[in-house]
Amino acid sequence: MKAIQSIFLAFSLVPLALAQDTPQAYVGARIIPIGGPEIPEGVFVVHRGKIVAVGPVRSTSIPADAQRHDVTGKLIMPGLVDTHSHIGGVEGADSTAPIQPDVRVLDSINVRSPGIQKAQAGGITTANVMPGSGHLLSGQTLYLKLRDGSTIDDLLIRDAQGTIAGGLKMANGTNSRRAPPFPGTRAKSAALVREQYVKAQEYREKIRRANGDREKMPERDLRMESLVEVLEGKRTVHHHTHRHDDVLTAIRLAKEFGFRMVLQHVSEAWKIAPEIAASGFPVSSIVLDSPGGKLEAMDVSNRNGGVLEKAGVLVGFHTDDGITDSRHFLRSAAFAVRDGMSREKALEALTLAGARMLDLQDRVGSLGAGKEADFIVLSGDPFSVYTKVLETYVEGKRVFDRSDPKDFLFATGGYGASRGDELHLDCFDEEEE
């Protein structure tokens, strides 16, 4: 049976490969490019994983050999960027220490998890997958393209030098306040973080003094290596923080050690919007959260997006999946608009703002010639409760099709939607013979 499944998968991928060799033109849809004004009736052309052209029907040329798709009455916009997710059954640090920068979620993500396919069904094409927040520092995050793949390598994002893209997850507040070896107070939490970054500064200085002399180099320390990457701006800190005083502590530490940071959650952002704006740090906000989930989030407000926008803060949204199901991601922005955020910035918060937080703005987050062809096809306006994600594409390849019965399960639930042992495009009900 496995052999039959493998043959089916190989043949099912043939049309996708051919589509990459032939320009694909989507004609007649309303297009929201994010990087420019909306196009009421547009043309969107992709070829070999990249965007070739975006523009009005009347003034945009279509390659003569392009395969045309009539998408009249539908809407095309960039694939969504989730700046904080836990899909893939990810695991991070353990209970042996509150700070574990050597832990890599790369070593724990299950790419066959149904959570990834549910995220595709929600229109998410890029995600920052992180370990949990029960530690002051719980490990290295991973920026993923939600391609269809059988191993983690198929989903990795790499920079021009081939380095795997990712950040570092930190947290403060109540999550990490536990019995020893964890800190029991907020002040002790900050003290422990300072201690480790001071050690990282000293480790970096020893490397500098060695000046390439292997005999003088300090003993390799994987924990310090990760923190040095933070100090040198090579790795962004994604900092879980809710209460206004915890937010200010995170900002204080980042300023003290000069590292780049994205403030994650920030339930009480509305209380200190001017201070956040003055810090220059962006905010990845959660909207569809549970106010009763923890005491420090009791003052979470859907006004955060609008308040931060007016203060001049770069705002993105995230799911924290499974806190918010990835399939509901569009609704986060809709709630923010209802409570004062502009439509333009809310759409940007789902796409380009998140891409900027992950240093991927030159590749994803908006529809423009030369960018990677990550996009979604919607049945209507993105902020309408009646709108459905019809198709999701990553680098020009369709990874979700609501009209496909197998994909429909991931979009709506039902039997099979949470079975994590089957590959996308390879879903059979028969038992192995």
Greatest C-alpha distance within the chain:
68
Sole residue written with tokens 């991928």: 13
User: Tell me: the pLDDT tens digits for 304-326?
Assistant: 999 999 999 999 999 999 889 99
Per-residue pLDDT for 421 more than 60?
no
Q: What is the DSSP string of 246-291?
A: HHHHHHHHHHHHT--EEEEE-TTGGGSHHHHHHHT--EEE--S--T
> What integer pLDDT is reported at residue 322 of this predicted model?
85
* The token pair that represents 130 in the structure block: 């992180």
Instruction: Tell me the two tokens of residue 161.
Output: 């030098």
What's the whole-number average pLDDT of the chain? Answer: 91
pTM of the shown model: 0.91
Residues 347 and 38: their CA atoms lie apart, in Å, by 11
Tens digit of each residue's pLDDT (9 = 90 or more) over 395-410: 999 999 999 999 999 9
| Residue 15 exposed, middle or buried by CB count within 10 Å (0-12, 13-18, 19+) | exposed
Q: Is the dihedral of CA 371, 314, 256, 174 positive or negative?
A: negative
Task: Say how far apart CA 330 and CA 344 lie, in whole Å.
Answer: 14
> What are the tens digits of pLDDT across the range 84-134?
999 999 999 999 999 999 999 999 999 999 999 999 999 999 999 999 989
- Map residue 370 onto helix, strand or coil: coil
Q: What is the pLDDT of residue 416?
A: 62
Q: What is the pLDDT of residues 361-418, one digit of tens each?
A: 999 999 999 999 999 999 999 999 999 999 999 999 999 999 999 999 999 987 667 6
2-79+370-412 maps to CATH 1.10.10.60 = no
What residue ranges do the domains of the chain occupy?
2-79+370-412, 80-357
Three-point CA angle 35, 37, 39, nearest 5°: 115
300 vs 252, which has greater pLDDT?
252
Give the Å distances, CA to CA, from 281 to 252, 310, 356.
11, 15, 12
Q: Which CATH class is domain 80-357?
A: alpha beta
